[in-house]
Amino acid sequence: MSNNQPLFLNEDQVRKHLRMGDLIPTMEKALIDFSTGKVIQPVRSVISVDPPGGFLGLMSALTPDGLGLKAVTFYPSNLERGIPTHMATIFLVEPATGMPLAIMDGRLITEMRTAAVSAAATKLLAPPDAKILAILGSGVQAQSHVEALRLVRNFEAICVWSPRREHAERFAKEIGATATSAEEAVRGADVIVTATNSKTAVLKGSWLKPGCHVNAIGACRPDWRELDDEAMSNVVFVDSREGALKESGDVILSCAKIHLELGEALAAKVPSRANETTIFKSLGMAVEDIAAAMLVYRSVIFAARPSTD
């Protein structure tokens, strides 16, 4: 960086410097920092855009590692246009001076850090010998979750379902999985991911194998659901209590009891809950975005340093 000008990084440049294997432990630290009071982070501000039924969210945080904000849009109708439903930009600032450090594309960061957080939850809460993975959804989050979860468990089989059969079959072919119904995918699965745009429950608690683990990724609004009441009656973990009680329809509409924030569980090194079914309700937090963006920023700076050889 020269003349105090911030770095500008597009998605391809972010992709070059972001690795899932590095991101998972980075997210674990970010979650612990948040839940142990080391982060200043207001609940995201959301503006509804009707029509066409989209949202603009503003997410900011001051963390031990950085300061910044993310502007993220979510337009489910973009599926019909063949463009991403989520788009984002992240702005990093030097905490000591307020000087801009970087402006980078945040779409890929959002995709990858969400899956990395689920991998952290799965690593902690899922059965150590988990062999079967079920994915409800076939978009970018579904794809990213397969990559991330394969790093923390050795799956022998993956079953997928999507509201559109052709999407499920295409996705299954890409990852070496089997496309089936939602119920057939979930029954017998050790780890389940719900990553859909559904506003009503797609996962029933009666389908769940005792002792399995669910990563619930969609339903990011207070009147949207992915999981029914029976599913939400299990042991529920969230990324943020405050966020879940304001934004998560799965939590709010089911009146679910929140057991712990994931960061609290990680800090306490909670043992595997082999005999209990666990739910991790993920909404995403600014601390995750800032930590991931700082990982990219530091990699770029390190790569730009002159060789000493």
CATH for 7-109+287-304, among 3.40.50.720, 1.10.10.10, 3.30.1780.10, 3.40.47.10? 3.30.1780.10
Task: Provide the residue type at 300 as one letter.
Answer: V
Q: Is pLDDT of 174 > 80?
A: yes
pLDDT tier at 31 (50, 70, 90 boundaries)?
very high
Q: Is pLDDT of 3 > 90?
A: no
- What number is the average pLDDT over the span 260-268? 94
Rounded to an integer, what distance in angstroms lies between the CA atom of residue 309 and that of residue 301? 18
So what's the pLDDT on residue 2? 45
Q: Is pLDDT of 274 > 70?
A: no
So what's the pLDDT on residue 5? 86
pLDDT tens for 211-261 read 999 999 999 899 999 999 999 999 999 999 999 999 999 999 999 999 999
Phi and psi at 236, nearest 5°, equal -105, 125
Q: Is pLDDT of 19 > 60?
A: yes
pLDDT tens for 150-160 read 999 999 999 99
Look at the pTM and tell me if it is higher than 0.95.
Answer: no
pLDDT tens for 93-115 read 999 999 999 999 999 999 999 99
Nearest to 27 by CA among 130, 148, 127: 148
Q: What is the mean pLDDT of the chain?
A: 94
Question: Would you list the domain boundaries of the chain?
Answer: 7-109+287-304, 111-285
CATH superfamily of 111-285: NAD(P)-binding Rossmann-like Domain (3.40.50.720)
Nearest to 184 by CA among 227, 234, 143, 132: 132
- Percent of the chain clearing pLDDT 90 (strictly above): 88
